[in-house]
Amino acid sequence: MDLKLVKKIIDLIAASDVNEVAIEEGDFKIKVKKLSETSQVSYTQPMIAQPTAPAVTHKTESSNTADLTTAAAANTIEAPIVGTFYQAPSPDSDPFVKVGDKVQSGQTLCIIEAMKIMNEIESDCSGTITEILVSDGTPVEFGQPLFSISKD
């Protein structure tokens, strides 16, 4: 792998919301982990974990007074990056969550694949999944709502 390409990867990670990336190309393996304002590069044999990206939360708003109570208790988890939305870790696996599932803060809700990197999207609150707003395998945009969660 070209060192210029490694530098580009580090720069892309530093400029994104992704905290950790592991890449394998033939016998070459690299793991880049974001530490505060700097990135650390380490060469490892096995790829240990998939990268994670923090979930972005947006409280829904409503002009209808009857909906204000519901809106105040509901959160929408939005896509923190552009990519492809996947409900399960692999095609033959069960989805991470379904409508009606209770979730905890930090629990993985889905994966967004961006540039061949799988980014686990986690819930930032505890509650119940009330709606899955995106179909499996579809492209998503930055800020696009993915899940509605009713806070406990």
Residue-wise pLDDT tens digits, 98-135: 999 999 999 999 999 998 889 999 998 899 999 999 99
Q: Report how far residue 105's alpha carbon sits from residue 75's, in angstroms, rounded to the nearest whole number.
A: 12
Residues, the chain, total? Answer: 152
Task: Cite the DSSP H helix spans in 23-143.
Answer: 65-73
3-state secondary structure of 31: strand
Q: Residue 152: its pLDDT value, please?
A: 77
Q: Are 123 and 77 in contact (CB under 8 A)?
A: yes
Going by CATH, does the domain composed of 52-151 fall within 3.40.630.30? no
Q: Residue 43: its pLDDT value, please?
A: 40
Tokens of 1: 């792998």
Q: Report how far residue 126's alpha carbon sits from residue 105's, in angstroms, rounded to the nearest whole number.
A: 5
9-53 residue pLDDT tens: 777 777 777 777 777 777 767 777 765 443 344 444 444 444 444
Which part of the chain has CATH 2.40.50.100? 52-151
Contacts of 59 (CB under 8 A, 6+ apart): 71, 72, 74, 75, 76
Q: Residue 2: its pLDDT value, please?
A: 66
Q: Residue 69: its pLDDT value, please?
A: 41
User: Looking at the whole model, is its pTM more than 0.85?
Assistant: no
Q: Residue 70: its pLDDT value, please?
A: 43
Q: Residue 3: its pLDDT value, please?
A: 67
Q: Residue 124: its pLDDT value, please?
A: 87
